[in-house]
Amino acid sequence: MVQPRVTPNPVAEERSGLPGVAGVGLKPAYFDTVLDQNPGLGFFEVHAENYFVDGGPLHHYLGQIAARYPLSIHGVGLSIGGESAPDRVHLQRLGALLDRYTPALFSEHLAWSSHGPYFYNDLLPLCYDNTSLLRVCEHIDQVQSYLQRPLLLENPSTYIEWGDSNWFEPEFVGEVIQRTGCGLLLDVNNVYVSCVNHGWDPLDYMARLPTAMAGEIHLAGFAEDSDALGDRLLIDDHGHAVANPVWFLYQRIIDERGPIATLIERDQDLPSFQLLVEEAAKAQAILDGAMGSRP
Amino acid sequence: MSSQADFTRMLRNNRERLPDHFVTWNRSDPSVRVDVYRNTVLSSLIEVLLATFPVTAAIVGTDFFRAMAGEFVAVSPPTGPVMAEYGRRFPHFIRDFEPASGLPYLGDMADFEMARLTVMNACDANGMEARVFHELLADPDRLLEISIEFIPASRLIRSKFALLSLWQAHQHDSVQNISLAGIDLAQGENALIARSEWTVTALPLSEAGAALCHRLMEGDTLGAAIDKVSPDNAALDETLLVLIQSGVVAGFTHQQ
C-alpha cells in the first residue's frame, strides 16, 4: 500500500481534520476493489442519505473501509436552503451516522431539495436576499447545534438566477460562513460551472469566496449544453473526468492557500476504479507540489 | 404563494407558465435553464427506480420502463431523501398501469425486487443456530406450541407466476444469454428472501410451504399454522428446512 505524502496546512487541517490528501467518492461497485487492493488514497467520501439504512452490506463494507481510511460524509438532502427548518428525523439519522463513523469531514450544500411534503432529489437554487440569508444561517445553526460539530458548506452550481437576489453568490456564501462559524467545501467544478452559466469571472468569484475557510475541495466533471441563445450551459453531472479549466483553478487555489483535502467526485457513468485513482494522484501531485514551494 | 412553491410547481408540471422570478445574464429564455432542473429531478428518480427494479426493467425494455417510471414519478414523487425507500409504491402502480396490463406478473416482479432491496438494507440480526432447531425437533409436542420470531432481513413473496425462474433467467450480464425457454409462466412460485454473508438470497417454497411460512410470519404457532394449512409431511419438512437454512429465525416464543 502506497501512502500518500502528508503535506501540512494547519488552517485547512484544523477546519477539516484531514491533512492535504486526495480521496475519491466511494460507491458500492468499488467496495471489493478497495478492500482487495488497499489503494494509496487519503480518504473516501460517501453520501450520507445512501447510508440511512438499518443494516446490511452497505454498512458492513463501509465499516471495513472506514477502519482503514479516513472518511468524509457528504449530505445531499438536508435542504439547508429550504423554507422549512431541517427535518428532525433527517437530523436524527444524520446524527446516528456521524456517531457511528466519526468521519473526519462532514459537509452539506447551499441549496434546497424539500418543499412541502415532497423531496426533489436535486440541489435547487436559492434567492440570495436577506430573508434567505437569515434563514440559511438559522438552519445551519440548528444543524450544527444538533450535531455538535461544524459543517463544511459547499458552494453550489446553478443554471438560473433569482431576479430578487441582491447578494453576489460567493459573498453570500462568505456572509453565511462568517455568521455561522461553519467552514467551506470549495467545489472548484461548481465555481467554473456557475461562472460559465452566469457570465461571471471564475478568478473574481474565487477571490470573493472565503477560501481561507476551506476544509475540503471537490473536483468533478461537467457536461456541455447550450442555452436558448446558444451560449454554453454547463451541467454539473459528475459524469466526466475533471476538465482542464477546473484543474487550472484548482492549481491556483492550492498555490494560494496551501494543501487542502481534495475529493475526486464521480456519481454518473462510473469509470474503472483505477481511473479515479489516477485522477486523485494528479490532485495529490498538485498538493505535494504546493508543499514543496511553500516557505 | 412562496417563490420556492412556485419553483416546485414548475418542476412538477412542464406546462406551468414560468413565473417572473428568474433572470439570465445574457437575457436568454430562462425556461431552457429551468428545464435542466426539471430533467435532473425526473431522470435522477427514474435512475433510482432502474437500479431498484432491474429485472422489471429488463422484462419491458428500458425505454418502456423509463416511460412507466416517469409516469410514476409524476403521481408519486418521493416524500423523503432516502432513495432506498423510494419505489415502495411502484409495484402497486405497475398493477394499475394500463399499458403494462399484458404482463400480469410484472407487479409481482416489482414486489420481489423491492423485497430484495428491503431485505438487503434491513437491520442486522443473527438467526438461531441449527442446533437449537434439532433440540426442538426432538420434542414434537413442544414444537407445535412455539411461535417464531423472524429477523428483520426476511420477506416472503408468493406469486401465481413463475417469478423466481423468471428472475433467475435474467441474472446475466448480457441480454443474449437470457433464456426463457422451459419456464412455464403459469406455474406459481414462492420464495423466502433472506441474507447470507451480505448477499440477498431467495429460497423456493412450495405452495403449502409458503402458506405455512406466511401463517408463521403472522405469528401463529406451528400447531395453529398446520391446522390452517394442512400441509403434507413433505411440505412441513421443506418449510422447516428452509427456515433453518435461511437463518431467518431470531427466536421462539413458547405458547402454552
Determine the 3-state secondary structure of A248 from DSSP.
helix
Contacts with A228 (C-beta within 8 Å, 6 or more apart), sequence order: B28, B29, B31, B32
Who among B8, B83, B123 is closest to A55 (CB)? B123
B54 and B99 share one domain? yes
CATH number listed for the domain at residues A10-293: 3.20.20.150
pTM value? 0.93
Coil/strand/helix, residue A234: strand
Nearest Cα to B22, choosing from A228, A77, A230, A226? A228
A82 contacts in chain B (CB < 8 Å): 4
In a domain, B163, yes or no: yes
Query: Which residue of A93, A114, A160 to mutate against B (max B Cβ within 10 Å)?
Result: A160
Asked if residue B63 is part of any domain, the answer here is yes
Residue type, A144: Q
Which of B34, B78, B153 is the closest to A119 by Cβ?
B78
List A72's β-bridge partners, or say none: A45, A105
User: Which residues constitute the domain of residue B160?
Assistant: 124-256
* pLDDT at residue B38 is higher than 70: yes
ipTM of the complex: 0.93
B10 pLDDT higher than 90: no
Question: B44–A162: do the CB atoms touch at under 8 Å?
Answer: no
Cell numbers at B162, concatenated: 413463475
Q: How far apart are the first and last CA of chain A?
A: 30
Do B76 and B167 belong to one domain?
Answer: no
Please tell me whether residues B73 and B169 are part of one structural domain.
no
For residues B225 and B180, membership in a common domain is answered with: yes
Distance of CA B229 to the CA centre of its chain: 25
pLDDT at residue number A83:
96
Residues B167 and B97 occupy one common structural domain = no
Q: Is A22 helix (H, G, I), strand (E, B) or coil?
A: strand
Block mean pLDDT (10 aa), chain A, length 295: 49 71 97 97 98 98 98 97 96 97 97 95 96 98 96 97 96 98 98 98 98 97 95 95 98 96 95 96 95 55
B131 in the same domain as B33:
no
pLDDT in tens, B139-182: 888 889 999 999 999 999 999 999 999 999 999 777 677 778 88
Same domain, B84 and B166: no
- Dump pLDDT digits (tens) for B59-89: 999 999 999 999 999 999 999 999 999 999 9
Strands A22-25, A262-264: pairing kind = parallel
Dist. CA A9–CA A261, nearest whole Å: 10
In this structure, the answer to whether residues B29 and B132 fall within a common structural domain is: no
| Backbone φ, ψ for residue B102 (5° rounding) | -75, -10
> Which of B250, B256, B254, B251 is closest to B123 using CA atoms?
B250
Structural domain boundaries of chain A?
10-293
Tell me the C-alpha to C-alpha distance, in Å, between residue A94 and each of A100, A138, B129, B149.
10, 18, 34, 30
CA distances A67 to A105, A281, B27, B106, Å, are: 15, 22, 52, 42
Q: What's the sign of the alpha-carbon dihedral B55, B56, B60, B65? A: negative
**Residues of B with Cβ-Cβ distance to A59 under 8 angstroms:** 124
In chain B, the number of structural domains is 2
Are the Cβ atoms of B26 and A199 closer than 8 angstroms? yes
Radius of gyration of chain B from Cα atoms?
A: 23
Position A1 scores a pLDDT of 41
Residue B109 lies in a domain: no
Residues B209 and B169 in one domain: yes
The answer to whether position B245 is within a domain reads: yes
Q: How far is CA B133 from CA A158, B130, B143, B206, in A?
A: 60, 5, 9, 21
Tell me, what's the pLDDT at B197?
A: 87
Report yes or no on B208 lying in a domain. yes
